[in-house]
Structure 1
């Protein structure tokens, strides 16, 4: 029988961050993932990237893995430009005015995952079981027994579900979920532009949804996330390359010159998910298994990393028994409140910036201009954007 104090189901960025944090606290960990083990980056950019906030950077620095992450095609962005296509509203800010070296980094998810995976190899009390699936999970008041498809039993004191938005563990333990369809699909691709990005993260709110241009480590390369109606997304996917480039250049208002897509285009539906219960006995949820939100502010990965940071702190507490119920309940309470706040904020922004209603246009224009011109309000906005 394999034994570990914590079994983490899901070897993505959030699950591996938790594993590394626990390993450094001398807590034994088993990571179970049905997929392949992380691999080094290929020459082509991966289309799944994240805007890593300063708060998330600080977490990675505390785990001594940031230097490995940041040297692997990570791109700092030093300014943000957010504007409404249908009004005069705009807000812009940069790192220099805030006495910061940068506002954050754009990093391919695979780069984060591989750096964490490599770091975990050094810990003898960590078992990384990729290409492995569980067949059954049972829990008692004191333990969780996981039986793998191979027949091997695994005993742990706590099971952490970090297995994504469609979490099998969450379904298995019948942990209730609230959700709604954002009525948006996100189209992602890698794009080259005539003009350099100058390390500026750009976002334009179009009537059908927001379009983000995120700078990559080559001066003219961007990762785009175009959130739009399902019908429009279907039209964009059906376009030939020339027509798509033309539509994209017009949508971003030629801020970086002509656009030329460099990769395949992929599209996926956007759904808000919020687990009403994050803790059931000795099973706890985190990351996308607990919450998913609209990508318009790039907060998804950072919210999951905050879950990991709080759970590391809770499980490394020396107050009484390991994984005490009171500490796990405090984790659940704190993180649920933060997730609720961000879900409400994203829904409000989506509704405000959607459509052509004249009253909305006026509110958007006045609101963005007010934020851009009033120092205290702008500072609050910026602190939220950089995760502080």
Structure 2
């Protein structure tokens, strides 16, 4: 038996997945003083991203961006990460324009109608992650291991504790195992946590573009015949740089990816109805297949699923990472409160409080996104007319429209304490 095989370490909380949601969770729980370990399969160390970020930022934009809601901003502010994000770059957006590409329906959402400074911020994922890494480094009780592969996970003992065996022969015993390892979660698979999933029949093309006309601090979304096309404003001095998420059929996505840059810009401009003039340039394009998944339950004794490990949804409203941050805030709230009361926070009965806080809300959001996607499928002309009329009617009913956008911003409904805006 090698030295590595003989080693068994012990931690209070083991988080598998060192992305935005997993690190946010660790930072939120750190004030308890519990011994927290994060396992990340990638080799890159947190300090590498922090050190490289100025150079990366100067060179261009991360094609992966998120439309962070006010609730996510509040959580990141509470953790101390938001100032780091603002010091790097973030693009506040004040308006959203959504229209039916096969009809005449259009809805406009404006921050001024809500007496808010903005509706949210478009932030590159690596900027958010680096900010969370900075906060994590200040916590002595959080350890981050990279290049880690999980081989097996034991069943829970009577108190819920599990043993995780790693690829290098080490084992880690933990009171609570948290899966934050993404849509194809290894933890979810090894622990038998079933999930319902289906293919959306869409692939998403993501990249960065420059337009002829300014983006006006507006998020633009057109529902095309093949799927939604979103243009999101980025923080560039020229005011004409945007991130795109173009969801379309797999065949159309292959055709678009095969085009040269000039032809792609022309196709994009046409699909976007040239709302911002010509598309002047495009960065490297990336394509991702889209599937919806939802775990049948989020918790077992000594186990919890958060973020994409628990649920994935269509990116048409940019809610994915925001739901993950709300998961992190809710699980942290349950653990913090149980720890303060002296309860066993790894017990399934305690963890079910987290599941009750988040699962119904996540299912509802997924259902709404699926409803929107189906609503804008290719429909007969009479139904397209009805759809457009409904959009125009909603645009004129301010209370309904305001309620919808406030819910999307995380300013209405049951929001976890750490993501809740403080009372004035």
TM-score, scaled relative to structure 1 = 0.97
**More helix, by proportion:** 2
Q: Which runs of 5+ in 1 are unaligned?
A: none
Q: Matched residue of 1:24: which SS?
A: helix
Q: Deviations over 1:133-178 (max 9, x none)?
A: 2222223122122232233332211000000000001100111110
1:78 and 2:85 aligned: no
1:169 and 2:192 aligned: no
**Residue matched to 2:253:** 233
**Residue matched to 1:94:** 110
Matches within 5 A, 1:1-388: 1-35=8-42, 36-38=44-46, 39-40=49-50, 41=53, 42=56, 43-138=59-154, 139-142=156-159, 143-218=161-236, 219-317=239-337, 318-319=340-341, 320-388=343-411
Return the offset for 1:330. 1.7
Distance 2:99 2:13 in 1: 45
Residues 136 and 211 (structure 1 numbering): CA distance in 2 closer, same or farther, change over 3 Å?
A: same
Q: Deviations over 1:207-241 (max 9, x none)?
A: 11000000001111000000011111111011111
Return the offset for 1:24. 2.5
Q: Matched residue of 1:150: which SS?
A: coil
Return the offset for 1:122. 1.3
Q: Matched residue of 2:222: which SS?
A: strand
TM-score, scaled relative to structure 2 = 0.89
Which range moves more in the overlay, 193-202 or 62-71? Answer: 62-71
Runs of 4+ in 1 over 3 A off after TM superposition: none
Distance 1:289 1:136 in 2: 17
Which range moves more in the overlay, 87-96 or 201-210? Answer: 87-96
Q: 1:293·1:343 contact (CA, 8 Å) conserved in 2?
A: yes
Q: Which runs of 5+ in 2 are unaligned?
A: 1-7, 412-424
Distance 2:352 2:400 in 1: 34
Length, aligned pairs only: 388
Distance 1:121 1:291 in 2: 28
Q: 1:86·1:356 contact (CA, 8 Å) conserved in 2?
A: no
Q: Deviations over 1:104-139 (max 9, x none)?
A: 000111111111112111111111111222222223
Distance 2:116 2:145 in 1: 40
Q: 2:301·2:346 contact (CA, 8 Å) conserved in 1?
A: no
Return the offset for 1:248. 0.5
Q: 1:192·1:261 contact (CA, 8 Å) conserved in 2?
A: yes
Alpha-carbon RMSD: 1.3
Q: Matched residue of 2:235: which SS?
A: coil
Q: Deviations over 1:18-60 (max 9, x none)?
A: 0100112323210001112341431221111000000110111
Return the offset for 1:305. 0.6
Which range moves more in the overlay, 168-177 or 375-384? Answer: 375-384
Distance 1:272 1:4 in 2: 33
Distance 1:263 1:165 in 2: 26
Q: 1:180·1:271 contact (CA, 8 Å) conserved in 2?
A: yes
Q: 1:146·1:154 contact (CA, 8 Å) conserved in 2?
A: yes
Q: 1:22·1:28 contact (CA, 8 Å) conserved in 2?
A: no
Distance 1:330 1:322 in 2: 10
Distance 1:356 1:237 in 2: 27
Return the offset for 1:356. 4.1
Q: Matched residue of 1:314: which SS?
A: helix
Which range moves more in the overlay, 138-147 or 347-356? Answer: 138-147
Q: Deviations over 1:256-281 (max 9, x none)?
A: 11113431111111101011021122
Q: 2:265·2:282 contact (CA, 8 Å) conserved in 1?
A: no
